[in-house]
Chains A and B, each alone.
Chain A
Amino acid sequence: GAGVSQSPSNKVTEKGKDVELRCDPISGHTALYWYRQSLGQGLEFLIYFQGNSAPDKSGLPSDRFSAERTGGSVSTLTIQRTQQEDSAVYLCASSFKSSGETQYFGPGTRLLVL
């Protein structure tokens, strides 16, 4: 079946602009995660959604970052007033449920802030 998909695959923007990144999880997966991967680094947790529960936003680096998940499926990560240090690969993952379930990753969105 289809895996996790993300769009766009690449995004170049100017400093100060807002960007929206989209994630389509695997159908039927109730848990959705956003991670950020800087060049040569491991993945850094950003935010987690589980069903209709309030999201765990503990990993968001600043209030310029926000995310929504509509209808328990598609999620959008928004970065307002982008800064150069926001440049990274933003990865989305989903799992059937949360605890103990394997997370499957999308291909990521490569964001470059000029």
Chain B
Amino acid sequence: GQQLNQSPQSMFIQEGEDVSMNCTSSSIFNTWLWYKQEPGEGPVLLIALYKAGELTSNGRLTAQFGITRKDSFLNISASIPSDVGIYFCAGQLRGSARQLTFGSGTQLTVLP
């Protein structure tokens, strides 16, 4: 099936640092989404991107929909302890497919 390559797999950063993670694919996506998942919970939507080149912010989070429609990145500025969790990118393919294709996740640890 379709795959999204998400990197890095894990990150250990100091509180206050900025974080960047990205996803790439060989397929073209209509929509890119970024979710955060905390232990014992389902993924929670952070940012949704619907147009190639779109740059969207949500507080300290910024995400971009790559111009080729095959990649996206998420930046977190001035990280805080509650940013800890697993961040997933997800894409919705062009065409009739409705389900999301997920990356394998980036485990973020913020050290005080």
A residues near B, CB below 8 A?
4, 31, 33, 35, 40-45, 48, 50, 56, 59, 91, 93, 98-100, 102-108
Q: List 15 A-B contacts (CB under 8 A).
A: A33-B100, A35-B99, A43-B43, A43-B90, A45-B99, A50-B98, A56-B98, A93-B42, A99-B30, A100-B30, A100-B50, A102-B48, A103-B100, A105-B35, A105-B43
Pick from A42, A104, A106, A108: contact of B45, CB below 8 A.
A104
Contact A43 B50 (CB under 8 A): no
Please report the total number of B residues contacting A with Cβ < 8 Å: 25
Q: Residues of B contacting A105 with CB < 8 Å?
A: 35, 42-44
Q: How far is the CB of A4 from chain B (nearest CB, A)?
A: 7
Cα distance A41–B106 in the bound complex, in angstroms: 10
Contact A102 B92 (CB under 8 A): no
Q: Residues of A contacting B100 with CB < 8 Å?
A: 33, 35, 43, 45, 103
Contact A100 B88 (CB under 8 A): no
Pick from A40, A43, A108: contact of B88, CB below 8 A.
A43
CB proximity to A under 8 Å, residues B4-56: 4, 6, 30-31, 33, 35, 40-45, 48, 50
